[in-house]
Amino acid sequence: MDYEKFLVENEILPIDCKTGKWNHFKVNHLKPKDDISKNQVKTFIESNVANRNGLYIYKNEKGEILYIGKGKPLKNRLYSHYLESFQPVRGDTKDQRWHKFFLKHQGLLDVYWLELEGEKDRQIIEKMLDYLLKPLFNEKALALDSTNHNQSINNTIIKKEKNKQNETSYQFLHYGEELIEKVHASLGPDFTPEYRATGVTFYHGFNRILKLVSATNHLKVEYNVQVPKVDDLIVLTKEEAKEKKMGTCQWIYKGRSLDMAMHLVREAKKVFMGKC
């Protein structure tokens, strides 16, 4: 497949604002002098991208492509990268690679973003852009092998997503991916799932609400807000949660009832949104 031809014909290349496809703004990736300045940047980003989903590209003042990514919604990912330019951020990898990268490339950056609602479309076009534009962050790690140009880009995406999300498929009692989708649908699009080796954690911005823990003999859901006391709910004190390195997670459902687990998901959302 001629990736460049495809992107040109669909007015995705070149990366500029003249085609009408790309939106653009500038953001200063520097440590703010105080919380007021930091919140001003957050508000600025949110006012530019609102609640839209899509792709984004960072360019520096030299015109170099720094990073290509996708966000659902965009505002969360862009604000996360801004924070990473001066501090580690929850959800980064263990080696803090995003923090190290954006810290190294501080300064006034151009942000180009493209509204794209379909997850599959975002994945495919992101990989095409990675291959053609070779951003500094991941050109070695993510560029397609030149010996495999005829391989379906879809297969590449599926393989990478499986490696990232579930080296072995998650199992929540006898449920799998459908439970993740069910919980996401109940929480709503403003909550973002992050896939880890032990399960899937849901965040609202940078605040965690719950985690689905992979287990074969029961459903295990860790809640970070208070939920009603029901059968099979374990409630930890703050001291016990601290000792177990559970952070703010004091409420753990460990049972076999899907209806009860989902009931607690809905209750957790009510409490969480009441605190926002």
The pLDDT tens digits of the residues spanning 181-217 come to 899 999 987 888 888 888 999 988 778 999 999 999 9
CA-to-CA dists, residue 191 to 121, 123, 168, 185, 217, angstroms = 20, 19, 24, 9, 27
Report how many domains make up the chain.
2
Give how far the C-alpha of residue 190 lies from the chain's centroid of Cα atoms, to the nearest Å. 11
**221 and 259 together in one domain:** yes
Strand order in the sheet with 191-196: 191-196, 199-204, 207-213, 219-223, 251-255, 233-235
Cis peptide before 73 (omega within 30 of 0): yes
Q: What phi and psi values does residue 147 have, to the nearest 5 degrees? A: -80, -5
**192 and 144 together in one domain:** no
Amino acid letter, 54: G
CA distance 269 to 82: 27
Name every residue whose Cβ is closer than 8 Å to that of residue 252 and which is 6 or more positions away in sequence.
220, 221, 222, 223, 233, 234, 235, 236
Residue with tokens 């860790």: 222
Please give the residue range of the domain that contains residue 58: 3-162
Say what the pLDDT of residue 93 is.
66
Domain end among 162, 187, 216: 162
**271 and 190 together in one domain:** yes
Instruction: Give strand pairing partners of 114.
Output: 55
**139 and 72 together in one domain:** yes
Low-confidence ranges of the chain (pLDDT < 70): 1, 91, 93-94, 139-168, 276
Strands 219-223, 207-213: parallel, antiparallel or unpaired by DSSP? antiparallel
The pLDDT tens digits of the residues spanning 133-165 come to 999 997 544 333 333 444 444 444 444 444 444
Amino acid letter, 268: A
CA distance 10 to 234: 53
Nearest 5°: CA angle at 72, between 135 and 100?
40
Q: Is residue 141 part of a domain?
A: yes
pTM: 0.54
Which of 108, 139, 138, 152 is CA-nearest to residue 3?
A: 152
CA distance 197 to 187: 22
**158 and 201 together in one domain:** no
DSSP assignment of 77-90: HHHHHHHHTTS--T
Which of 56, 55, 29 is CA-nearest to residue 44?
A: 29
Domain end among 138, 162, 186: 162
Say what the pLDDT of residue 171 is.
87
Domain with residue 43: its CATH number is 3.40.1440.10
Continuous H helices in 166-250: 177-187, 238-243
**158 and 193 together in one domain:** no
Q: Is residue 172 part of a domain?
A: no
Say what the pLDDT of residue 146 is.
38
Which of 210, 169, 215, 220 is CA-nearest to residue 186?
A: 210
Q: Integer distance in angstroms from the first to the last C-alpha of the chain?
A: 47
Domain end among 135, 162, 189: 162
